[in-house]
A and B are shown apart, each in its own frame.
Chain A
Amino acid sequence: MLETFFNGEVLLRAWPLLWEGLLLTLQLGALSIVLGWLGGLALALLGLYGPAPLRILVRAYVDVFRALPVLVLLILVYYALPFVGLSLSAFASATLALAAVSSAYTSEIVRAGIEAVPEGQSEAGRVLGLSFPQILRLIVLPQAFRLVIPPLTGNSINVLKDTALASVVAMPDLLKQATQAQALEANPTPLIAAAGLYLLILLPLVAMVRRLERRLGRPS
Chain B
Amino acid sequence: MSAPVLSLQGARKAFGDDLLFADLSLELAPGEHLCLLGPSGAGKSSLLRCLMGLEALDGGTLTLTDPTAGLGLVFQDFRLFPHLNALGNVTLALRAAQGLGAKDAEDRARDALAQVGLEAFAGKKPGALSGGQQQRVAIARALALRPAVLLFDEPTSALDPERTAGLGAVLRGLAARGVALLTVTHDLAFAEHWADAVALLREGQLTTPLPAVRFFGPEAPAAVRAFLSPSAAPEEPSES
Q: Which of B79, B93, B127 contacts A120 (CB 8 A)?
A: B79
**Residue with the greatest number of chain A CB neighbours at <10 A, chosen from B82, B93, B96, B145:** B96
A127 touches B72 (CB 8 A): yes
| A residues lining the B interface (CB < 8 Å) | 118, 120-121, 123-131, 134, 138-139, 142-143, 146, 219-220
Closest-CB distance, B126 to chain A (whole angstroms): 10
Judge whether B75 and A146 touch: CB under 8 Å: no
**Given A134-B97, A138-B92 in contact, is the A128-B141 Cβ separation under 8 Å?**
yes
A121 pairs with B75, CB closer than 8 A: no
Specify which chain A residues have a CB less than 8 angstroms from the CB of B97 in the assembled complex. Answer: 128-131, 134
Q: Is B63 an interface residue (CB 8 A)?
A: no
Contact between chains at B83 and A142 (CB < 8 Å): yes
Q: Which residues of B contact A123 (CB under 8 A)?
A: 54, 75, 79
Do A128 and B145 have beta carbons less than 8 Å apart?
yes
A143-B73 in contact given A128-B145, A129-B93, A138-B92 (Cβ < 8 Å): no
* Interface magnitude class on chain B: 20 to 34
A142 to B125 CA separation, bound complex (whole angstroms): 14
Q: Is the CB of B79 within 8 A of A146?
A: no
Cβ–Cβ < 8 Å partners of B54 in chain A: 123, 126-127
Least distance between B28 CB and chain A CB atoms (Å): 18
**Closest B residue, CB atoms, query A127:** B73
In the complex, chain B residues whose CB is within 8 Å of the CB of A138: 92, 96
Is the Cβ of A220 less than 8 Å from the Cβ of B127? yes
B77 interface hit (Cβ, 8 Å): yes
Does B70 count as interface, using CB distance less than 8 angstroms? yes
A124 touches B81 (CB 8 A): yes
Q: Chain A nearest CB: distance from B141 CB in Å?
A: 7
